[in-house]
Amino acid sequence: MSKFKKALLCSIAPMLVAGMLGVTTQAVASGERLYGRFTNDNELYAPRDYREWVFIGSNVTPNDMNDGAAAFPEFHNVYIDPGSYAHWKKTGEFRSGTVIVKELASIGTKEAPSGHGYFQGEFGGIAAMVKDAKRYPDKPGNWAYFGFSADSRHGAIQEESACSACHQQNAGQDQVFTQFYPVLRAAKP
């Protein structure tokens, strides 16, 4: 290799590396990284790392406040992907690409040193909703809903009537129950 080539490489290589690093950091910093993996039919694979996302709240609808027969008698621990949380903080909107996971946790004990109450027991299943204008152009608000059975890695899009109708009718903003998530309300610009 000629001296000239060596010199050229030495000066270009670090620039290339810095350039690549710069792009990566910028994409993450501006919240552009997308979460969620999909089958060819645009079904969501069961998210795995959601407990490292942003925790937005935990609602509980216990049996003993619902005539012994609540639809979901567990805690509902809800997480939003970090990229979409960053976008929410900037704009107050759910971006195309938003993934929200609700993980069920049973009610364990109702007694703790702090007093009587509801305390989380064991994890149950998960459900999720995804907003994506490209994947779901015909769904209301571009939201698709997924339920996961314990043995399936990707979800089934549920009947519109089963999930979407209730969310459309009752949720605070864009089919998400923002009225129950002070974390989201506090972060909204």
If the CB atoms of residues 10 and 69 are measured against ligand HEC, the closer one turns out to be 69
143 pairs with which residues across the strands? 131
If the CB atoms of residues 31 and 47 are measured against ligand HEC, the closer one turns out to be 47
Q: In what order do the strands lie in the sheet with 54-60?
A: 54-60, 75-80, 99-107, 120-131, 143-147, 156-157
If the CB atoms of residues 25 and 102 are measured against ligand HEC, the closer one turns out to be 102
If the CB atoms of residues 33 and 125 are measured against ligand HEC, the closer one turns out to be 125
Binding site for ligand HEC (CB under 6 A): 59, 61, 76, 78, 100, 102, 127-129, 145-147, 158, 162-163, 166-167, 171, 176-177, 180
Distance (Å, whole) CA 19 – CA 27: 12
What is the helix, strand, coil percentage profile of the chain, to 5?
35, 25, 40
If the CB atoms of residues 86 and 99 are measured against ligand HEC, the closer one turns out to be 99
CB of 16 to ligand HEC, least distance (A): 42
CB of 136 to ligand HEC, least distance (A): 14
CB of 186 to ligand HEC, least distance (A): 16
CB of 27 to ligand HEC, least distance (A): 26
Distance (Å, whole) CA 59 – CA 6: 62
Q: Find where tokens 């009587």 sit.
A: 116
The answer for 90, left when phi > 0, alpha when psi is -120 to 50, beta otherwise, is alpha
Asked if 78 contacts 53 with a C-beta cutoff of 8 angstroms, the reply is no
CB of 40 to ligand HEC, least distance (A): 21
